[in-house]
C-alpha cells in the first residue's frame, strides 16, 4: 500500500490484491516519506494499515497514536504526498484516494481499472503516475481534478517508481504469474515532458524499488527470486544513463531509504523472531548490516522512513507496530498501529525538502567526473538549482590560473559536460592536476562551489 501527500490531502491506493498475495513473499516494504509543510505545526506520521484498511496517525513529538482515523479502500498498498495532500493507492478496489492530513477526510477518489492491480504511485506537483502490476501500464492522472491524462504500456509487472528530473524510472520485476518465476529484471525510463517510453535498462532479478543517493545516483533494489538468487543493489547514473556498479547485499531486501548521513537502509522482512533491516554506505558501497548481522526491529519489516533528525522508522507488518530507531540501529520507541502496517509518510515541519518517491530539487554543485584519471576527455557531472543563472564550470591549474570555461546555458537540472583537456585557445594541457569549480549567479548573490580535482595523464 502506498501513501502520497499533496497540499493537505491524502490519497490512498490499495494494490495488495489477491493476485499479489499469491506471489511468494512478494510483500514489498514501501517507502516511508519525510515531508515538509508550513501548514503542519508538528511532526507526525501517517501509516496505512493493509489488513485493517485504515489510516493511523502518530504524533512523533508526544508519541500519541490515533488508529483508524480514515477508512481506506480495499488492500491499500502505497502512500505519497504532494502539495499539502496525502494520496493512498488501493490495489483491489483499484482507486487513488486524496486525503486532507488535517481533517483526515477524503477530498475525492480517483477510480482506476479493476483487475489492473495498481501497485505504486509517484507524484510530482501536477500529476500522479500509477504503476499497475497486472496490466503493465503506467497511468497518469491530474492531481487537481483526478482526470486521466494518458497511459503507457511498459509490461514486465512494474512495481516501484521514482521521479527524478524530467524522468520517471520504473522497476519492472519480470514476474510471470503463470509459473511464479522471474524473468529479466529491467528499469523503464519514461520522459515526463512527452510522456513516452525512452528505453529500458537490464538490471538484476526482481527489482522492486528505486531510491536516490546523495551523489544523485539511483539505487535499484533487486530482491532476487526467493530461491537461489539473492538481493543485489544496482547503481544507475542518470546523467550517463549507465549502470556504474552493483552491491551484492544478499537476503531479500524489498525497498530502501537514505539517512541524513548517506547511509542506505533496506527493509528486509524477517518473519520468525525479529524483523530485519540491512544497511550500507550509499557513497562507497560498503555493507554495514547484511543477512549475517541485520539491524533487528519488529516482526516483518515491510517499509522504512527517515525523519529530518535522522531517526529510522520501520513498518512491521507481522507485529502491527512502527519502530523508531537511531541510525546505529538502537530501538528508541515502538508504536502500536492497525493490522498490517505496510507504508508510511512523515510530515515533518523541520525538514526543508520533500523526500518521498520523487527526488529532491537539485542543488548547485559538481557531482564528480568520469573517468578520473583521464587522457582524452572527462565527463563532469553537475547539478543546478532552479535559482542558478549564467552557470559555468571554470577549469583552472594548481596556481589558480583559469584555463577554460564550460558554459552550461540556462538548464536547471542534473547534467554533464565534457572537458577535452585543452585550454581556451585549443592547446593541449600538460599532464598534471587540474580543478573544476561550478560558478553561477542567483538572486541572493554569486554561487561558487567547492572545486573537484581532475587528473590528466597524457
Neighbours of 328 (CB within 10 A): 11
Residues 200-256: tens digit of each pLDDT: 999 999 999 999 998 889 999 999 999 999 999 999 998 888 999 999 999 999 999
Sign of CA dihedral 327, 329, 333, 337: positive
Per-residue cell: 234: 544496482
Pairing of strands 341-347, 33-35: parallel
User: In terms of pTM, does the model score above 0.95?
Assistant: no
The answer to whether the bond into 371 is cis (omega within 30° of 0) is yes
Length of the chain measured in residues: 458
Q: Burial code of 131-156, b = ≥16 C-beta within 10 A, e = fewer?
A: bbbbbbbbbbbebeebeeeebbebeb
Helices and strands (H and E) in the chain: how many: 1, 42
Over its C-alpha atoms, the chain yields an Rg (Å, rounded) of 22
pLDDT band at 385 (very low <50, low <70, confident <90, very high): confident
Strand partners, 447: 440
**Burial, 324: exposed, middle or buried (Cβ in 10 Å; 0-12, 13-18, 19+)?**
buried
Region 335-344: mean pLDDT is: 97
Lowest mean pLDDT among 128-142, 257-271, 360-374: 360-374
Sign of CA dihedral 313, 315, 318, 319: positive
Alpha-carbon span 208 to 187, nearest angstrom: 10
Per-residue cell: 81: 504526498
- N-to-C CA span, the chain: 55
Whether pLDDT at 403 is above 60 = yes
Neighbours of 284 (CB within 10 A): 9
Alpha-carbon span 197 to 194, nearest angstrom: 9
Per-residue cell: 371: 573517468
Region 398-403: mean pLDDT is: 89
Whether pLDDT at 28 is above 50 = no
Whether pLDDT at 56 is above 70 = yes
The answer to whether the bond into 302 is cis (omega within 30° of 0) is no
Alpha-carbon span 389 to 385, nearest angstrom: 9
Per domain, the residue ranges of the chain are 2-347, 365-456
Could you give the percent of the chain with pLDDT greater than 90?
68
Alpha-carbon span 222 to 207, nearest angstrom: 4
Are 5 and 305 in contact by the 8 Å Cβ rule? The answer is: no
Neighbours of 373 (CB within 10 A): 11
* Average pLDDT score over the chain: 86
Region 70-99: mean pLDDT is: 96
Whether pLDDT at 35 is above 60 = no
Residues 351-361: tens digit of each pLDDT: 433 334 445 55
CATH fit for domain 2-347, picks 1.10.150.20, 3.30.300.130, 2.130.10.10, 3.30.200.20: 2.130.10.10
> Residue 351 has what pLDDT?
40
Whether pLDDT at 286 is above 90 = yes
Alpha-carbon span 200 to 202, nearest angstrom: 7
Residues 106-141: tens digit of each pLDDT: 999 999 999 999 999 999 989 999 999 999 999 999
Judge if 2-347 and 365-456 fold alike in CATH terms. Answer: no
CATH number of 365-456: 2.60.40.4070
Per-residue cell: 276: 530485519
Whether pLDDT at 13 is above 70 = no
Amino acid at each position: 500500500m502506498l501513501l502520497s501527500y499533496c497540499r493537505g490531502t491524502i490519497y490512498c491506493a490499495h494494490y495488495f490484491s489477491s493476485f499479489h498475495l499469491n506471489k511468494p513473499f512478494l510483500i514489498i516494504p514501501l517507502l516511508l516519506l519525510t515531508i515538509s509543510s508550513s501548514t503542519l505545526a508538528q511532526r507526525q506520521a501517517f501509516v496505512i494499515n493493509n489488513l485493517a484498511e485504515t489510516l493511523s496517525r502518530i504524533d512523533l513529538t508526544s508519541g500519541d497514536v490515533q488508529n483508524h482515523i480514515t477508512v481506506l479502500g480495499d488492500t491499500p498498498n502505497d502512500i505519497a504526498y504532494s502539495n499539502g495532500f496525502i494520496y493512498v493507492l488501493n490495489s483491489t478496489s483499484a482507486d487513488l484516494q486524496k486525503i486532507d492530513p488535517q481533517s483526515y477526510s477524503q477530498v475525492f477518489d480517483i477510480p482506476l481499472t479493476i483487475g489492473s492491480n495498481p501497485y505504486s504511485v509517484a507524484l510530482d506537483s501536477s500529476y500522479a503516475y500509477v504503476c499497475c502490476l497486472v496490466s503493465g501500464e503506467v497511468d497518469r492522472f491530474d492531481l487537481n481534478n483526478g482526470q486521466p491524462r494518458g497511459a503507457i504500456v511498459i509490461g514486465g509487472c512494474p512495481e516501484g517508481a521514482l521521479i527524478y528530473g524530467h524522468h520517471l524510472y520504473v522497476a519492472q520485476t519480470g514476474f510471470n504469474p503463470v509459473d511464479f518465476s522471474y524473468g529479466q529484471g529491467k528499469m523503464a525510463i519514461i520522459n515526463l515532458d512527452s510522456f513516452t517510453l525512452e528505453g529500458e535498462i537490464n538490471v538484476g532479478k526482481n527489482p522492486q524499488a528505486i531510491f536516490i543517493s546523495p551523489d544523485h545516483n539511483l539505487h535499484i533494489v533487486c530482491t532476487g527470486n526467493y530461491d537461489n538468487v539473492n538481493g543485489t543493489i544496482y547503481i544507475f547514473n542518470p546523467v550517463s544513463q549507465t549502470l556504474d556498479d552493483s552491491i551484492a547485499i544478499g537476503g531479500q531486501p524489498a525497498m530502501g531509504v537514505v539517512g541524513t548521513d548517506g547511509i542506505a537502509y533496506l527493509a528486509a522482512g524477517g518473519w520468525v523472531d525479529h524483523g530485519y533491516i540491512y544497511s550500507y554506505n550509499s557513497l562507497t558501497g560498503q555493507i554495514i548490516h547484511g543477512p549475517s548481522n541485520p539491524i533487528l526491529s519488529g516482526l516483518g519489516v515491510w517499509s522504512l522512513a527517515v525523519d529530518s533528525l535522522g531517526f529510522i522508522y520501520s513498518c512491521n507488518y507481522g507485529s502491527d507496530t512502527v519502530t523508531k530507531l537511531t541510525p546505529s540501529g538502537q530501538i528508541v520507541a515502538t508504536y502500536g498501529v492497525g493490522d498490517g502496517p505496510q507504508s508510511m509518510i512523515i510530515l515533518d515541519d523541520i525538514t526543508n525538502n520533500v523526500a518521498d518517491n520523487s527526488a529532491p530539487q537539485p542543488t548547485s554543485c559538481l557531482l564528480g567526473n568520469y573517468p578520473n584519471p583521464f587522457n582524452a576527455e572527462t565527463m563532469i557531472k553537475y547539478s543546478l538549482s532552479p535559482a542558478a543563472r549564467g552557470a559555468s564550470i571554470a577549469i583552472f591549474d594548481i596556481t589558480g590560473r583559469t584555463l577554460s570555461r564550460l558554459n552550461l546555458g540556462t538548464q536547471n537540472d542534473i547534467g554533464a559536460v565534457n572537458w577535452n583537456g585543452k585550454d581556451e585557445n585549443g592547446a593541449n594541457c600538460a599532464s598534471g592536476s587540474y580543478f573544476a569549480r561550478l560558478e553561477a549567479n542567483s538572486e541572493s548573490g554569486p554561487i561558487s562551489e567547492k572545486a573537484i580535482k581532475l587528473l590528466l595523464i597524457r
